[in-house]
Amino acid sequence: MNNNRLRGLLIVLSSPSGGGKTSVYKELLRRYPKFKYSVSATTRPKRANEIDGESYHFLDREEFVKKKDAGQFAEWAEVYGNYYGTYKDFIDRSLQQGEIILLDLDIQGAANLSRQYEEAVTVFILPPSLKVLEKRLINRETDDPEVCKRRLQEAIKEIAEWPNYNYVVINDLLDDAVEDVATIIKAESLNSSRFPERYFENKFLK
């Protein structure tokens, strides 16, 4: 292994439903193709606009439980009756290679991952107001109205989690929110803790 390699970074994005983190991370990946996205496993049915292996790895419950029991997930959670899990192998390999990895996790997933990986940086994406949140959930049209209502109630509770995150970003204008997250990533990527011991001595003094 190359000991003089920079440590990888885990950037965890969470938000209440309708906070807009999906748009934020998609735009980040478009602007910074070097960033890696951690594609989760889920038992949720595929939506029309989703691609298996890109949005998620879609598994049935039996397959998911098998992988979970085999310890393949760094964290997993049940969200709205479906299972979601982060592939441990992908995270560990990407970290070792010094990659910047984006993860889209719910609140429990963000907390669980941070406990295991000290390099995890957590960012909470908030909508600018309750009115906007409500509008976004209704406009989504990917879920039925009952699901939207349930998600709004849940979202209101989730907003209270903001102090548990390293950073908070308000997603009013997408461009600004993306720039804010990119700035966080830039600063974190220059944090001295990312550099291995004697990194600069080895680089300059030998």
Residues that bind ligand 5GP (CB under 6 A): 40, 44, 75, 77, 79, 84-86, 104-106, 108-109
Q: Which of 86, 171, 92, 83 is nearest to 125 (CA)?
A: 171
Which residue, judged by CB position, is nearest to ligand 5GP in the bound state? 109
Specify the residue, 93 or 194, whose C-beta has the smaller distance to ligand 5GP.
93
Please report, as a single letter, which amino acid is at residue 7: R
Q: Which residue has the tokens 């461009």?
A: 175
Specify the residue, 4 or 22, whose C-beta has the smaller distance to ligand 5GP.
22
What's the closest the beta carbon of residue 199 comes to ligand 5GP, in angstroms? 32
Number of neighbours of residue 132 by Cβ within 10 angstroms: 15
Do residues 170 and 128 make contact, with C-beta atoms less than 8 angstroms apart? yes
What's the closest the beta carbon of residue 94 comes to ligand 5GP, in angstroms? 15
What's the closest the beta carbon of residue 77 comes to ligand 5GP, in angstroms? 4
Do residues 177 and 170 make contact, with C-beta atoms less than 8 angstroms apart? yes
Specify the residue, 115 or 186, whose C-beta has the smaller distance to ligand 5GP.
115
Token pair recorded at residue 102: 């984006």
What's the closest the beta carbon of residue 106 comes to ligand 5GP, in angstroms? 4
Specify the residue, 84 or 165, whose C-beta has the smaller distance to ligand 5GP.
84
Strand, coil or helix: 16: coil
Number of neighbours of residue 53 by Cβ within 10 angstroms: 9
What's the closest the beta carbon of residue 150 comes to ligand 5GP, in angstroms? 12
Angle at which helices 21-31 and 174-189 pack, to 10 degrees?
Answer: 60
What's the closest the beta carbon of residue 93 comes to ligand 5GP, in angstroms? 16
Specify the residue, 99 or 106, whose C-beta has the smaller distance to ligand 5GP.
106
Strand, coil or helix: 117: coil
Specify the residue, 9 or 148, whose C-beta has the smaller distance to ligand 5GP.
148
Token pair recorded at residue 178: 């993306």
Q: Which of 82, 76, 74, 66 is nearest to 10 (CA)?
A: 74
